[in-house]
Structure 1
């Protein structure tokens, strides 16, 4: 990253496991102080403690990203205890998969609230710090499902919405030195994809084998693959890249 004397602070939501934890570890390795945000502070603490043990600075913060009050309090705590946020990775997400005729309004609202409302609230809460500093990086986690995926009307809509959100924030915040980009993962080995396999009544090994057969690079993705892309967008050198959607999916997006 940069040669500043005081490390810049990065916030990663949904960072207690999976992609979020992988991103938190990579940003810490890049020299950022990292705030690990998720619903369960005990799980956040495990990730934060590991980062600290490896020589980094980290803070575990429990937050419900759909709550305006909770988000405001969490960001204020990060700014006070770790430093003004310079990087935000909106990774928090849930799935409530079902075919449209079986999908409840509650399942629709839950997914849209976490992905879209959560990203909106977090981005709004940090943008003041970034614009004041004249430097910032916001990275939103979309998904290849934004292009459409059977049984995921809520998730697909949320992830497509994040792409429009990304492009709009890039237009609004660019003049303040803040870039906004999105990453759209393909199949990544996480607890969420394991849950998808279980929902389909398949073992994860069989599910992964079936998916990998359709991936040009002939392997599944890992959290580290997404973390590497986040590392680029968060870097000093990516300052001329904004409003982009990068598909990290082992091949071209359909």
Structure 2
């Protein structure tokens, strides 16, 4: 009999790593798929290396994971920004984020459905973004994150009868290593971002992980098809009521 596990993509660092740690602390078996292996993995984390923009490799690693584990929780977290405007965004940028955010989410969802249906239980969390509501210089990124919200809502409708919930999280500015590399502490642009946030601080990966743990909890089976913005209030006046 295979071990039940939770699959988190992009769990080698940042938000994904925080979600993986929270799940491990809750006693769950956690599997990570990322383009690079974690430098200092927490005890119990099982990692598979894969470029999730490569369809064949994504499908192959999905088979490896599902042959070894019964996946009952999936967090489609891996992502990339690919900044660009209407004038500068390239088709290569668009292809990259569509493949990473949308195609990978669908491949992995389809791969884990048999184990979730067999268990009569499943939790899927898709990592969207506050940018899905619109953000300058993020034309391809925001489009795919909005698409992920649409996918979330449709999957929730299709899978609810199987005991599977599907929800999305829309992080705002989160102080990951990648974010801080572009927005160093004390830099004027970083302070401008902080000033625009209602709670006057950047979010942390752990802020997002706590939201993910709510959606992943077995007892939260009556919440599905929803988007939770973990954004410090930056969606106020923008997101629909």
Q: Same fold (TM over 0.5)?
A: yes
Question: What residue is the counterpart of 1:3 in the other structure?
Answer: none
Q: Which residue does the alignment assign to 1:227?
A: 209
Distance 1:192 1:126 in 2: 29
The one of 172, 175, 191 equivalent to 1:189 is: 175
**Match 2:27 to one of 21, 25, 31:** 31
Measure the CA separation in 2 of the matches of 1:112 and 1:238.
30
Counterpart for residue 247 of structure 1: 229
Q: Once the two structures are superposed, what CA deviation does each residue of 1:46-98 show, in whole Å capped at 9, x if it has no partner?
A: 32xx2x1xxxx3211012223343233323322344x2111000001112102
Look up the match of 2:104.
Answer: 118
Q: Does 1:46 align with 2:40?
A: yes
The DSSP-based 3-state class of the residue aligned with 1:232 is helix
| Alignment equivalent of 1:137, drawn from 96, 108, 123 | 123
Q: Deviations over 1:195-229 (max 9, x none)?
A: 543xxxxx443233211111111111000000001
Higher mean alpha-carbon deviation, 238-247 vs 105-114, is at 105-114
Q: Does 1:21 find its partner at 2:17? A: yes
CA contact (8 A) 2:4 2:72 kept: yes
Work out whether 1:212 is the aligned partner of 2:208. no
5+ residue gaps in structure 1? 1-5, 198-202
Give the C-alpha shift of residue 7 in structure 1: 6.8
TM-score (norm 1): 0.86
Secondary structure (helix, strand or coil) at the match of 2:32 reads strand
Structure-1 separation of matches of 2:177 and 2:161:
38
Choose which of 148, 155, 158 in structure 1 pairs with 2:134: 148
The separation in 1 between residues aligned to 2:174 and 2:234, in whole angstroms, is 15
Q: Give the Å deviation of 1:108.
A: 1.6
Alpha-carbon spacing, 1:89–1:17, altered in 2? closer, same or farther (3 Å): same
Unpaired runs of 5+ residues, structure 2, are none
Q: For residues 61-72 of structure 1, what are the structure 2 equivalents within 5 Å? A: 61-72=48-59
1:79 to 66, 74, 79: 66
Spell out structure 1 runs of 4+ moving beyond 6 A.
Answer: none
TM-score (norm 2): 0.91
More helix by share: 1
The 1:108–1:211 alpha-carbon spacing in structure 2 relative to 1, beyond 3 Å, is same
Distance 2:185 2:60 in 1: 38
